[in-house]
Amino acid sequence: MSYQFAERVRIVEVGPRDGLQNEAHTVSVKDRVALIERLAMAGLSSIEAGSFVSPRWVPQMAGTAEVFARLQRRSGTSYTVLVPNRQGFEAAVAAGVREVAVFTSASESFAQRNTNCSITKSLARFEPVCDAASAAGMRVRGYVSCVLGCPYEGAVAVAAVVEVATRLAALGCYEVSLGDTIGIGTPGKAQAMLTAVAGSMPMEQLAVHFHDTCGQALANVLACLEAGVSVVDSAVSGLGGCPYAVGASGNLATEDLVYMLNGLGIESGVDIDGVVEAGTFISGVLGRLPGSKLALARRVDARIGLVR
């Protein structure tokens, strides 16, 4: 059976935010800036650079305003920050951010643990954010977590994923990322979920975001590419996990994704050597911090030998 893949896939690099927020210790502003700039130089045109969530809840993202003050922004690259509410949005605007992201869940239990409110209330918080962003000419990206399972509820109904994704789009999110937060999805379920959501909104408005807890992330991406998706989230060196989902491992590694896309003949505009170099850099930084969740140089040395 043959499939018509997209000719080009846009990779959304989430390592500097979704990846580093799960580390036991805060990476310095200097090193976060250096990582982001390396990723941009590697050709990644969409990078999550931080968040304006309260440091009380996510201390690893403290200093995001300083990151933006120091960052040498590359032309053609979008630097996104996560915001939980209007207050976070105003902080992002003050820092010179031009694109923000909002987040909720397809699971009520996870929404309560992660945002301390129901799904409906979380969406209500985003309405003034989306309105203000539209008035300022800024773009808003939406995230839906737990699309293939929840650590508290187990299975999540596909209908719930469809409803939340379409509501985010109705608020004004130009793109909605569907996240397998605990990494339990398999290719058939991932493809069926994506196809169901695409039945209610354009596929071009959707992205996929897989964690690799059960080693299924690349297989899930391939299944979703077969279904027509053309935007994929990943994190350099497989950084990440989830503070609210004990046992969930890191994100799909950007190096692995680029390697697969290259093998399929799909353009991404990303230089794999540059991503490997960025991975080597951040692995070294994290290796010097006590309690790092990242296995030092996660197969980076092997990749260097393979891809050059």
Model confidence band, residue 48 (pLDDT cutoffs 50, 70, 90): very high
The pLDDT assigned to 112 comes to: 86
pLDDT for 306 beyond 80: no
- pLDDT computed for residue 300 by the predictor: 43
Give me 197's structure tokens.
């959501």
Whether 3 has a pLDDT exceeding 70, the answer reads no
Give the pLDDT confidence score for residue 287 in this predicted structure: 86
Contact 277, 293 (CB under 8 A): no
Q: For 24-42, what is each residue's pLDDT tens digit?
A: 889 999 999 999 999 999 9
The predicted pLDDT at position 161 comes to: 98
- Where does the pLDDT of residue 304 fall: very low under 50, low under 70, confident under 90, or very high at 90 and above? very low
Give the residue from 115, 116, 103, 108 showing the smallest Cα distance to 151. 108
Q: For residue 84, what pLDDT is reported?
A: 93
Task: Provide mean pLDDT across the span 294-304.
Answer: 43
Q: Is residue 132 part of a domain?
A: yes
Instruction: Flag whether 42 is in a domain.
Output: yes
Looking at the domain assignment, is residue 231 inside a domain? yes
Give the total number of structural domains in the chain.
1
How many other C-beta atoms can be found within 10 angstroms of the C-beta atom of residue 291?
8
H-helix or E-strand containing 286? helix 272-287
Please identify which of the residues 146, 173, 224, 242 carries the catalytic annotation. 242
Residue at 60 is within a domain = yes
The mean per-residue pLDDT over the stretch 87-109 comes to 96
pLDDT, residue 60, reads 92
Residue 248 has pLDDT above 80, yes or no: no
More confident residue, 165 or 241: 165
Q: Are strands 139-145 and 206-210 parallel, antiparallel or unpaired?
A: unpaired
pLDDT band for 115, please (50, 70, 90 cuts). confident
The amino acid at residue 249 is S
Does residue 187 lie in a domain region?
yes
Position 288 in a domain: yes
| % of the chain beyond a pLDDT of 70 | 90
- The CATH number that applies at residue 285 is 3.20.20.70
- Cβ atoms of 36 and 55 within 8 Å: the answer is no
The answer as to whether 124 is a domain residue is yes
110: domain range?
10-307
Q: How confident is the model at residue 244 (pLDDT cuts 50, 70, 90)?
A: low
Collapse the DSSP code of 228 into the 3-class scheme (helix H, G, I; strand E, B; otherwise coil) and give the result. coil
| pLDDT tens-digit map of 167-223 | 999 999 999 999 999 999 999 999 999 999 999 999 999 999 999 999 999 999 999
150 catalytic per annotation:
no
pLDDT of residue 24: 82
According to the model, what pLDDT value does residue 246 have?
53
The answer, yes or no, to whether residue 271 has pLDDT greater than 60, is yes
pTM (global) more than 0.95: no
Mean predicted lDDT score pLDDT of the chain: 91
Residue 5 lies in a domain: no
